[in-house]
Amino acid sequence: MSKVSVDIILCRAGSMNNYAYLLVDEKTGKSAIVDPSEVTPIVKVLEAKGIELDYILNTHHHYDHTDGNIELQKITGAKIVGNKKDAARIPGINIEVEDEFLLGESKAKIIEIEGHTKGHIAFYFEESKDIFTGDVLFSLGCGGMFEGTPEEMCESLEKLSQLPDSVRVYPGHEYTMHCASFALYVDRDNQNLVNYVMEAKEKQQKGLPTIPSTIGKEKKCNPYMRVFDKEFRNKIGVANATSVEAFIGLLNS
């Protein structure tokens, strides 16, 4: 088993603020780009590092995660990897995954996290403790439910909440400060959240990404991940609600 290194690449800056990620397996040098929404900033990084790209990994089919697939494949010859169940909608897919994907000697577990789209997956590199959560889990928020129900979204977030606290979370967008206002609205006296938002704000002021977050931080600060905590449900006045009911309550508030 091996670990991956992760480089963060901002794409569609100023409009969608998408993140693509460059992963390199430490033992074999095999490389992958997660969710290439546009090609130019990615090619710049690949050239600067002298990397010949092996794979393109997609968390889901939305254009702002897959728009660069075909062009990046043309330039690099990389193979396109996506969920077998959503293969019809992943542009140029070559490798259909179900349970795991091997990047050299680094193994990614494929975790199905529906709710945002049907067939949305996360790539979880267990050895390095890195997870790529696309548009399901953002820092301090969660994605819109385009093709899924709140129940499915909540179930997916619960799956993620069961990973070790130290796992680093790499979401599909830089939405932290945007999500922070709602988080603070419902959970203003949560000192962990207040501190986290302050740190994120400082990073953004320096032009730095606020991510990665961690599962532990999200469980302490993200209201949509806090619904699994009875104390939090108590605090927001729904002590007798299930986590799903509390989740739906947050969506409606």
Based on the residue annotation, tell me whether 135 is a catalytic residue of this protein.
Answer: yes
Partnered with residue 5 across adjacent β-strands are 24
Q: Which of 135, 152, 155, 218 binds Zn ion (CB under 5 A)?
A: 135
Q: Is 155 in the site for Zn ion (CB under 5 A)?
A: no
62 touches Zn ion by CB under 5 A = yes
Q: Which two tokens stand for residue 27?
A: 């033992």
Which member of 54, 60, 86, 187 is catalytic?
60
Backbone angles phi, psi at 19, to 5 degrees: -110, 130
Establish if 67 lies at the interface with Fe ion (CB under 5 A).
Answer: no
**Partner in contact with 187, chosen from Fe ion, Zn ion, none, beta carbon below 5 to 8 Å by kind:** none
Minimal distance in Å, beta carbon 131 to Fe ion? 16
Strand intervals (E) in 41-195: 55-57, 79-83, 95-97, 100-103, 106-112, 121-125, 130-134, 137-138, 141-142, 168-171
168 Cβ neighbours under 8 A, 6+ residues apart: 6, 129, 130, 131, 212, 213, 214
Active site residue 64: yes
**Is residue 135 a contact point for Fe ion (CB under 5 A)?**
yes
Residue 85 CB, nearest approach to Fe ion (Å): 19
Q: Does residue 211 contact residue 19 with C-beta atoms inside 8 Å?
A: yes
Do 92 and 98 form a contact (C-beta atoms < 8 A)? no
- Of 165-224, binders to Fe ion (CB under 5 A) are 172
Site string for Fe ion, 15-54 (x = CB under 5 A): ----------------------------------------
Q: Does 152 bind Fe ion (CB under 5 A)?
A: no
Residue bearing tokens 């997870």: 131
Q: Which residues bind Zn ion (CB under 5 A)?
A: 62, 135
Which residues are catalytic, by number?
60, 62, 64-65, 116, 135, 173
